[in-house]
Amino acid sequence: MNVAIIGLGLMGGSLALSLKKLDFITKVVGSDHNEQHQKDALKLGLVEEIVSFAEVKNADVIFLAIPVDGIIKVLEQLEDVSPQTTIIDLGSTKELILASVPKKIRKNFVAAHPMTGTENFGPYAAIEGLYEDKIVVLCDLEESGEHQQEVARKIFKHLGMRKHFMRAKEHDRHAAFISHMPHAISYSLANTVMNQEQKENILTLAAGGFRSMSRLAKSSPNMWEDIFRQNKTNILEAITLFEHELSSLKEAIKNDAWQKVHDTMAEGKKLHDILD
């Protein structure tokens, strides 16, 4: 099958590198509104060629690896694809995107969220094997056409991904806590430090802890603005609950309630009993 990828940054570029190695993929082409990204993608060999939007529509499979607001706009322009075409988005939000899919191509569409990535962006951020052994969440898959379901399952299986299924509304709430809120905190942490510390102090004193927690602040503001907008309600809930936890710890420190401070940290440490 022939594949076209719209968006040749971290997600789209990494996907292209992996798809090119699958024996049932005959060709991988790309499209990107950023001319420099087009040149970089060709230079790096991410795709075989850059094609026009009209040519993208001729592909058997179209991946949308662009910011979530852009996904909605592009879907409006894909209403005339073949009934056999499979359109797969890779966005971090799902409910609003699914609600925006034109009825004419709902069967064509598969809503997917690969739980992978880095804080870097652009074609030079592309990593071979980025998707391998990672989870991909497929939302409301039963509403996609049978052919499209089979195509998506086959591709993600051969990418080495573990499939997980859930409703879009459920996905967006979970993503707010596990992915979206941490980005909001990281940006806020970075701004807090920059507003208080001189550049020299930051460079001298910033060690592992600060670097780890502020790493996400390197992520694309354009992409994350769209995500925050689309998942606003869930993110606000997550931030409010985080503020409650932080305020509780703050009060314990303020009141010299060191046993409570210890217990709070011990409870938080249990997270890595699950993750590790």
Order of strands across the sheet that contains 135-139: 27-31, 2-6, 61-64, 86-89, 109-114, 135-139, 162-166
The pTM score is: 0.89
Residue 138 bridge partners (DSSP): 112, 165
Distance CA 228, CA 97 (A): 14
Residue ranges and CATH numbers for the domains of the chain are: 2-166 (3.40.50.720), 171-275 (1.10.3660.10)
Looking up tokens 């709070």 gives 264
Residue 84 has which token pair? 């056999």
Q: What is the CA radius of gyration of the chain?
A: 21
pLDDT in tens, the chain (276 residues): 999 999 999 999 999 999 999 999 999 999 999 999 999 999 999 999 999 999 999 999 999 999 999 999 999 999 999 999 999 999 999 999 999 999 999 999 999 999 998 888 899 999 999 999 999 999 999 999 999 999 999 999 999 999 999 999 999 999 999 999 999 999 999 999 888 888 787 878 877 788 888 899 988 898 999 999 999 999 999 999 999 999 999 999 999 999 999 999 999 999 988 887
Q: What beta strand segments (E) does 82-230 contain?
A: 86-89, 109-114, 135-139, 162-166
The pLDDT of residue 147: 98
Half-sphere exposure of 40 (CA within 13 A, CB side): 18
Q: Which long-range contacts (CB under 8 A, 24 or more apart) does 190-199 make?
A: 190/214, 190/217
Distance CA 184, CA 202 (A): 20
Residue 28 bridge partners (DSSP): 3
Q: How many CB atoms lie within 10 A of CB 218?
A: 13
Residue 79 has which token pair? 């209403």
The residue among 96, 86, 95, 84 whose CA lies nearest residue 64 is 86
Task: Report the number of secondary-structure helices (H) and strands (E) in the chain.
Answer: 14, 7
What amino acid is encoded at 192 in this protein? T
- Check: CB of residue 23 under 8 Å from CB of residue 3: no
Distance CA 68, CA 92 (A): 7
The pLDDT of residue 209: 82
The pLDDT of residue 170: 97
Residue 27 bridge partners (DSSP): 2
Q: Where on the phi/psi map is residue 7: left (φ > 0), alpha (ψ -120 to 50), or beta?
A: left
